[in-house]
Amino acid sequence: MTTLILTRHYLGETFHNRLGVVFGAVQPALYLVLFGPLFDRSGVGSWNVLVPGLLVQLGLMSAGLAGFGIVFDQRFGVLDRLRVTPAGRLSLLLGRVLKDAVVLLIQAVLLLALGYAFGLRAPLLGVLLGLMLMTMLAISLASLSYAAALRIRQELFAPITSTVVVPLLLLSGAFLPMSLAPRWLDILSRFTPFRYVVEAVRGLFAGSYASAPVLWGTVVSLVLAVASVAVGVRIFQSENA
């Protein structure tokens, strides 16, 4: 209940300045418009291969950098103000995280519409299941981002996270499938969770729902979500008396 009160509040705030929704979706949209046509003609794959990658890029850019919000809340005493109420610590985290998931879903739908205009064709069921994976990814990334924002020195949060996002994104095979990678890079990428998510969404967009990549991607997303929320709550709590 408290979670939803907070989520509503944050969503109101986000829509109050609509730029908040666009922010984070700009980069993937640029890739789609300026890199997509090139990729489509490269012979590597079509829009069905690229757009799932751009969705994961969107997740990293949008939910992954969500911690920025809490940096300001901490600086202006807002976080302490919330922490001194009886609201559960899990709610204080989830209220924000759910907002980020909703924002990400809206951004993802916009990106998908743009992709569709360029030539993406994927079955509706596959797209819906892909969006579910994206939601789990958003929950994980936002939780981790908040945890990092509370633990890392304020002025370091922005440079560190925006640097960490780059290798994670490249290793996920978002732009070019990892099947093209040399062996060492392929192996390295298997240690990052996002590769499995990208491949699962590609599988779903191709309509192969019962394939191994889809299964693996789902398992990895679930485990990551549970672990990330646990880490997030622990850090929200450990700041307490």
Partner 1 sequence: MIHVRGLSKKFGEVEAVRGVDLDVSGGEIVGFLGPNGAGKTTTLRMLTTLLRPTSGAATVAGCDLFADPAGVRRRIGYVAQGAMLSPFSVVGRELELQARLQGLGRTEARERVAELLAELDLTGIDHRTPVSLSGGQKRRVDIATGLLHRPALVFLDEPTTGLDPQSRANMWDHVRRLRERHGMTVFLTTHYLEEADALCDRVLIIDHGRIVTSGTPGELKSRHDAETLDDVFLAVTGRELREEPREKEAS
Contacting residue, 22, 26, 81, 190, with partner 1 by CB under 8 A: 81
Q: How far is the CB of 86 from partner 1 (least distance, A)?
A: 5
22 or 80: CB nearest partner 1: 80
The region of 21-29, 77-85, 198-206, 224-232 touching partner 1 under the rule CB under 8 A is 77-85
- Judge whether 168 and 60 are in contact, CB under 8 Å: yes
Contacting residue, 16, 18, 41, 183, with partner 1 by CB under 8 A: 16
DSSP assignment letter at 31: I
The verdict on 15 binding partner 1 (CB under 8 A) reads no
Tokens of 101: 């998931």
82 or 165: CB nearest partner 1: 82
The region of 9-17, 133-141, 156-164, 180-188 touching partner 1 under the rule CB under 8 A is 9-17
Alpha helix (H) ranges present in the chain?
2-16, 19-22, 26-30, 36-41, 47-62, 67-75, 78-83, 89-118, 124-151, 154-171, 183-189, 193-205, 212-238
Q: How far is the CB of 47 from partner 1 (least distance, A)?
A: 39
Those residues with Cβ within 8 angstroms of residue 26's Cβ, 6 or more apart along the chain or in another chain: none
Torsion of CA 239, 162, 133, 172, to 10 degrees: -130
The verdict on 151 binding partner 1 (CB under 8 A) reads no
180 to 219: interface string for partner 1, x by CB under 8 A: ----------------------------------------
Residue type for 3, please? T
CA distances to 5, 44, 70, 212 from 12, in Å? 11, 42, 16, 40
The verdict on 153 binding partner 1 (CB under 8 A) reads no
Number of residues that bind partner 1 (CB under 8 A): 24
Q: How far is the CB of 75 from partner 1 (least distance, A)?
A: 7
Contacting residue, 77, 124, 155, 183, with partner 1 by CB under 8 A: 77
Rounded Cα gap, residues 102 and 98, in angstroms: 6
19 to 58: interface string for partner 1, x by CB under 8 A: ----------------------------------------
Those residues with Cβ within 8 angstroms of residue 90's Cβ, 6 or more apart along the chain or in another chain: 3, 233, 236
- Judge whether 28 and 54 are in contact, CB under 8 Å: yes
Contacting residue, 34, 38, 86, 210, with partner 1 by CB under 8 A: 86
Residues of the shown chain interacting with partner 1 in the complex, contacts defined by CB under 8 A:
2, 5-6, 9, 12-13, 16, 72-73, 75-78, 80-87, 239-241
